[in-house]
């Protein structure tokens, strides 16, 4: 398990953010088409991410609030096209499915996503990650806030909900 401080924001200035990331020599991991299947669980969130680059079963707990928020995350690396999705679907049931195109970048321990989410639009995510417990929440928050300012992300564009929550709210209207 690791801890991260993260933000998600609406973003119509992905080109600007991409230029900044390149100017900072960000490590570009590639473009991933990801399908995140969220399962019904009694607490926290559980999703299976199926992509070209990232394939994980992800369990996490996080409060929905705008601005930087802490998550406790557990990752399990999965094999693409395994029977795990079928097993989880039969035993837990599907809550939501998120289909997105994601550009993935890293600068040190900070991960950046430039996302296009089907049915929702364009977003940016910043995740300051403490993999081994040696960075600390204060530095993670500082890193996250630094990039919020650098990318000129306004408070009104910060999103409190996950993509799955946003899609379910949109479907229930």
- In this prediction, residue 37 carries a pLDDT of 97
Q: Is the pLDDT of residue 65 over 80?
A: no
- Averaged pLDDT for residues 104-131: 96
Name the band, by pLDDT with cuts 50, 70 and 90, for residue 172: confident
Contact by Cβ (8 Å): 2, 18 = no
pLDDT at 88: 96
- Element at 149 (helix H, strand E): helix 137-150
Q: What pLDDT score does 173 carry?
A: 72
pLDDT at 72 over 90: no
pLDDT-based confidence at residue 105 (cuts at 50, 70, 90): very high
Spans of all domains in the chain: 2-171
DSSP string for residues in 57-86: EEEEEE---SSSEEEEEEEEE--TT-SHHH
Q: Tell the CATH superfamily of the 2-171 domain.
A: Hypothetical Protein Pfu-838710-001 (2.40.320.10)
Radius of gyration of the chain, Cα coordinates, nearest whole angstrom:
16
Specify the higher pLDDT residue, 67 or 76: 76
Both tokens assigned to 116? 């296009």
pLDDT of 63: 74
* Amino acid 149: pLDDT: 97
pLDDT of residue 100: 98
Tokens encoding 40: 């019904």
103, two tokens: 């550009």
pLDDT band (50, 70, 90) for residue 125: very high
Other CB atoms closer than 10 Å to residue 14's CB: what's the count?
A: 16
Q: Which residue has the higher pLDDT, 132 or 93?
A: 93
């Amino acid at each position: 398990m690791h801890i991260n401080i993260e933000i998600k924001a609406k973003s119509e200035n992905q080109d600007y953010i991409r230029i900044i990331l390149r100017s900072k020599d960000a490590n570009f991991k590639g473009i991933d088409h990801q399908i995140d299947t969220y399962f019904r669980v009694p607490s926290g969130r559980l999703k299976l991410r199926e992509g070209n680059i990232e394939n994980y079963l992800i369990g996490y707990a996080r409060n929905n609030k705008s601005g930087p928020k802490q998550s406790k995350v557990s990752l399990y690396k999965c094999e693409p096209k395994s029977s795990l999705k079928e097993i989880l679907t039969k035993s837990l049931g599907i809550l939501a499915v998120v289909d997105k195109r994601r550009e993935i970048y890293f600068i040190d321990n900070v991960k950046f996503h430039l996302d296009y989410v089907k049915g929702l639009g364009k977003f940016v995510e910043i995740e300051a990650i403490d993999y081994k417990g040696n960075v600390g929440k204060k530095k993670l928050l500082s890193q996250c806030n630094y990039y919020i300012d650098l990318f000129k992300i306004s408070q009104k564009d910060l999103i409190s909900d996950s993509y799955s929550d946003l899609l379910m709210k949109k479907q229930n209207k």
